[in-house]
Amino acid sequence: MDTAELKSSLRARIWSARRALAPAEVAAAAPLIAGHGLAWARRTVAPGAVLTAYLGVGVEPPTAGLLTDLHEAGFRIMLPICLPERQLGWTEWHPGIEFARSRYAPVQEPVGTVVPAEQVLAGGPDRPPIAGIVLPATALDSEGRRLGQGGGYYDRFLALAAALGARLPTAAVVYDGEVLASGEVPADVLDRRVDAALTPGGIVDLGGAGQTTE
C-alpha cells in the first residue's frame, strides 16, 4: 500500500476502536486529559499565555474540560475555524460561547470574530502571539509523527508557523494506546511532527524515549 492507503487503514482501525469505547470510559478520560493538558501548559508556556486548542467531537477524545480548566487557570484560548482551501482561522473562546456547524467541515465552531492565521501567529495590539498549540490527532508515534483526520488543516497551519519562524510547542490529544512505536504512523514530507501527546494516562514526550512523565 502507498502512504495514503496506509494512513486510511490506520485511521479506520483507530476510529473503530474509539467507537467501541463505552460512554463511561470516555467520561472517565475527560478529567484526566484536562489535568494533564493543564500541567503541560503550565510547564511549557508562561502564565496567561495564548494557546490554540480545539473542541473534541465525535470519536475524538473529550477536550471540553481541558478548555474550561485552561481558561480558569488564566490562559487565553483560540479555537479553529475552517476556511476555504483547507486553511484555519481562529476565534477566541470562553465558557458559554455559542457554537455553530462549520461551512467547510463536519465540526462545530465557536461564533465570533475570525482572526487570520498570520495574525494569530504574529499577535496584535489586543492579543500577543500564540505560545503553544493543542491539536487533535488520530495516532502518534514515539518520534512525533502525527496522523490527523485527513483534511490537512493543521499541517498547513504548522507549516505556516514554521515559515514565519514561529517555533511553538505542540501537544496532540489521543487515547492511551494510540501513541505507537517509531515508524508505525505513516507520514510524508508534508506532515508536521508534534512534541508531546496528552493522553488519559499522562503526558508523553515525543522524539525521545516516549515515556509517560505526568
Question: Which positions make up the binding site for ATP?
Answer: 7-11, 146-154
Tell which phi-psi region holds residue 153, choosing left (phi > 0), alpha (psi between -120 and 50) or beta: alpha
Question: Residues marked as binding for substrate?
Answer: 55, 60
SS3 (DSSP) at 64: helix
Contact by Cβ (8 Å): 53, 68: no
Strands 50-52 and 132-136: parallel
| Dihedral angle sign, alpha carbons of residues 42, 121, 92, 196 | negative
Question: Residues marked as binding?
Answer: 7-11, 55, 60, 146-154
Contact by Cβ (8 Å): 15, 59: yes
d(CA 90, CA 77): 10
SS3 (DSSP) at 187: coil
Show the cell assigned to 35. 489535568
Burial class (CB in 10 A: 0-12, 13-18, 19+), 16: exposed
